[in-house]
Amino acid sequence: MGIAERKNRQKQALRERILDAARRIVMREGFAALSMRKIADAIEYSPATLYLHFASRDEIAQALCEEGYAQLLASFEPHAGIADPAERLKALGRAYIAFGVAHPQTYRLIFMEDPSYTGAALGGAARKAHVSEGGEGEEPVAAGEDATASSASSTTAAHPDDDPGAAALHIMLGALDELKAAGRLSAPADVSVWAEAFWATLHGIVALNLTCPVFPTAPLDTVLNLTLDVWFGPSNAGKASPVPAAKPAARPRAKPKAASA
């Protein structure tokens, strides 16, 4: 092993130690407790050493978000091969909720702290093509703007170089695209709008459970199963039923008049 390779490995190992310490602090005390000095104390290095690897606490938070998206993607991947797209989306929904409940601090960091962390973790998926009259190029998604919607509008197919956040989104988009092609979505909205609405629904369930534990009175599984059935129809012998279109109410037939004597 050459000197350059050894130094590179040592640098990478220290970077991992920094992230590991930051992760433990966030899991134990929450993101608000995270500071460069506290991380430095945990790994017994000076704060100045941390700045050789990360420019700021925000950059560490973004790296942790990327890890969180990788975990979310890992929970999605076992369900990506389900043949029926509605059943696939139900499985993805359950995986999403399970991830949020099992990793509350990571979930809060990704989706409930700072929109810039979500955008940075999504990488290329968090940028939209914006061509002005002057011919300017790309601009990042503004703070508070939904990163999933901007990426979803571009394509529903995953790319080999997708980061974990974009790849997780594309798995969801692909299933919705199949439903739309089969005429199984009840509204003609763009697939990206459906994805945003479905993601928002799942996020609402997780957020209520994390931030307002006294509010939900029904078991989480009951709420989730009802939500998924409302979205995609109840399962029937392992196969999802199409979302039925609304039918006009049938008018009652007039009774025939009795013949006069």
The answer to whether 1-54 and 61-240 have equal CATH topology is no
Please give the structure tokens belonging to residue 249: 């109410």
Domain 61-240: CATH superfamily, name plus number: Tetracycline Repressor, domain 2 (1.10.357.10)
d(CA 47, CA 37): 6
d(CA 8, CA 241): 54
* More confident call, 137 vs 117: 117
Cβ proximity of 207 and 225 under 8 Å: no
The pLDDT confidence band at residue 82, using thresholds 50, 70 and 90, is very high
pLDDT of residue 212: 87
Into which CATH architecture does domain 1-54 fall? Orthogonal Bundle (1.10)
Q: Residue 242: is its pLDDT beyond 60?
A: no
Q: E strands, the chain, where?
A: 127-128, 139-140, 235-236, 239-240
Q: Residue 178: is its pLDDT beyond 60?
A: yes
The pLDDT confidence band at residue 140, using thresholds 50, 70 and 90, is very low
Q: Residue 103: is its pLDDT beyond 60?
A: yes
Please give the structure tokens belonging to residue 245: 């279109």
pTM of the model as a whole: 0.73
User: What is the per-residue pLDDT across 193-219, written as a single tens digit (0 to 9) for each?
Assistant: 999 999 999 999 999 999 987 876 889
pLDDT of residue 130: 31
Please give the structure tokens belonging to residue 237: 């012998």
Mean pLDDT of 98-126: 79
* More confident call, 131 vs 137: 137
Write down the domain spans for the chain.
1-54, 61-240
- Residue 166: other Cβ atoms inside 10 A: 26
